[in-house]
Structure 1
């Protein structure tokens, strides 16, 4: 029991040499930005700024020419146990190309390592407790482009470099690719994003000398290294801004459909080949300066105590304010979809800088 924290954060040590777990690298699916969270993460076709480096790289073409955008977000998850941070920068390099870089960290810090809790004489010595962190990092390099013959069709791609560690016990490096498209159908914005397009590979390296005592009595074999592969997932979305009162008030409904191809999942539509998870949201704005948002997603079936089944939906809500070139957003949502009592407060900031020297 004294090593439960360590065992909890090293599940990959029990995987085979190559594994394709359904929920590998799920920290990359958490989302970024309070605006997106407030809309229930129905954001594929909505995103058209620096946040597109995460949501859909094709949306980076929505950044105005001669403008650089910077964004940041911080929140705590699971009643403050984990810290989730994000930062990004993006700019148009010319009329047909945009570039972006995004950074993500999800970490649990100050985890007690009690392997040396007991002295040689068997007495407990709390001064021997050491602490370590279990952290997941993502470095995302994005490019978006439009071709002169198809100016309404935007293309984008991500290159993702991943680093994960659990103290000195295990480290991992990985890489993957995303491909995005965005266009207009009439007055509707339509987008598609193929995440982990060729599968995202993460290679784990385990310090077996530090772990042999932990699993000595479990009968599990610990390998020096293992490989995880995250299968592709497809997200398609559509949205439109409706103008009211001479464009003073805007209403933007949005819908995303997440397709996974790794067998049945606990989603609204579940099949042996693909499962479909819908996300819906809406944003109200006044002169595109004051924003109110709401949304819902992650529809899951749960069993009640009386044996009946019901569907659970994760709601979200948020507000935003634009002050000159500053965007401040807030959202309240159950990010981990774990417990109604563990709602997270999410704050994010975006700043637009003009690169025009005139």
Structure 2
């Protein structure tokens, strides 16, 4: 029943209204890499590995060798599956490229459109299963600028969304990122969907019709979703204590050019901060913590309450293999719906 209801919610996002704005393609905003989740996704300024293709493509310029990353997470009490894979490699001393794939899907949803036959008889043999899945493929390129410490990167994204045989869509979007590093300070800017990302849906009305003529037919128009641009600003500082101990701290501002429930919101722009900390020992063991996603949510008495999303994580790195884990709160500190996120990163230096 949970899978069936969630499938209806996903489908309603497509068929209600001619155009949906602001919150389309939200699966591309969840994030990747358990290490980043542990820091509440506050990594725009400091990201410097294969996962930079998602967080800030300018960070790919820091790659010294090929890298591969994999991640898996279960959301909504294991109903939804979230998977990610990425590969990146340096081209030369001043450029690098990468590719990544994201899938967010709910499988084995009950299709009950043929449950009641033309005679009004319930036949469970006519119930089938379908999947509602979103796919995002990102191609990344990064290059150093002539100014020392400056780098830039760009993403080209192809979005594919499928809801069984009922609805399908394609979308294309572009991102642009910058980084600047000076001494122990790092700065980052990430512009997502800079050209506005459009998803055009094709609805199969025949697939949605029931076998019972007494049930009204649904006339569903083709729809278009528009993803408005977003911007992330970040500043990070690295500390070293007694050679073996390190601390990385970053503060990010996540901005949307629309009115939302973010803690700071106007009709033109809304933003919420995120803070992340990573404590490391001899570049071997890492402990992470972060807080972000500050939102104004309506309380029971009608007043606004401030919610936030805490995160914790640990990591272990040995030679060219890094394994990370994070415990992520998808809602807020009061509604504890936590997810376990695991990721692994392999550096080609392992084979040298």
TM over 0.5: yes
Residues 17-66 of structure 1: per-residue CA shift (max 9 Å, x gap): xx2422110000000000000001101012100000100000001111xx
For residue 335 of structure 1, report the CA deviation from its aligned partner: 3.1
Residues 177-235 of structure 1: per-residue CA shift (max 9 Å, x gap): 00000012453100001000101111111102222559x97897511x22211011110
Residues 330-350 of structure 1: per-residue CA shift (max 9 Å, x gap): 000123559733200000000
Distance in structure 1 (CA, Å) of the matches to 2:294 and 2:6? 30
In structure 2, relative to structure 1, the CA distance for the partners of 1:22 and 1:220 (3 Å cut) is farther
Look up the SS of the partner of 1:354 in the other structure. Answer: helix
- Stretches of structure 2 that go unaligned for 5 or more consecutive residues are none
1:143-292 map, 5 Å: 143-147=141-145, 149-213=146-210, 221-223=219-221, 225-245=222-242, 247-262=243-258, 264-292=259-287
Please tell me the root mean square deviation across aligned C-alpha atoms, in Å: 2.3
The match for 2:120 among 119, 122, 125 is: 122
Distance in structure 1 (CA, Å) of the matches to 2:293 and 2:208? 36
Distance in structure 2 (CA, Å) of the matches to 1:15 and 1:203? 13
Q: Is the 8 A contact 2:205 2:219 kept in 1?
A: no
Distance in structure 1 (CA, Å) of the matches to 2:301 and 2:331? 26
Partner residue of 1:316? 311
Q: Is the 8 A contact 1:91 1:99 kept in 2?
A: yes
Partner residue of 1:327? 322
Partner residue of 2:15? 13
For residue 306 of structure 1, report the CA deviation from its aligned partner: 3.8
Please state if 1:86 is matched with 2:84: yes
Q: Is the 8 A contact 1:34 1:346 kept in 2?
A: yes
Q: Is the 8 A contact 1:30 1:335 kept in 2?
A: no
Residues 312-343 of structure 1: per-residue CA shift (max 9 Å, x gap): 11100000000111000000012355973320
Residues 59-103 of structure 1: per-residue CA shift (max 9 Å, x gap): 001111xx1100000010010110000000000011111010000
Aligned residues: 348
For residue 277 of structure 1, report the CA deviation from its aligned partner: 1.2
Partner residue of 2:337? 342
Q: Is the 8 A contact 2:99 2:138 kept in 1?
A: yes
Q: Is the 8 A contact 1:14 1:221 kept in 2?
A: no
Look up the SS of the partner of 1:59 in the other structure. Answer: helix
Look up the SS of the partner of 2:149 in the other structure. Answer: strand
Q: Is the 8 A contact 1:3 1:115 kept in 2?
A: no
- Stretches of structure 1 that go unaligned for 5 or more consecutive residues are none
For residue 3 of structure 1, report the CA deviation from its aligned partner: 7.6
Distance in structure 1 (CA, Å) of the matches to 2:76 and 2:197? 26
Q: Which runs of 4+ in 1 moved over 4 A?
A: 1-6, 216-221, 336-339
TM-score by length of 2: 0.93
Distance in structure 2 (CA, Å) of the matches to 1:291 and 1:206? 47
Distance in structure 2 (CA, Å) of the matches to 1:277 and 1:248? 34
Distance in structure 2 (CA, Å) of the matches to 1:266 and 1:96? 41
TM-score by length of 1: 0.91
Distance in structure 2 (CA, Å) of the matches to 1:336 and 1:87? 25
Look up the SS of the partner of 1:240 in the other structure. Answer: strand
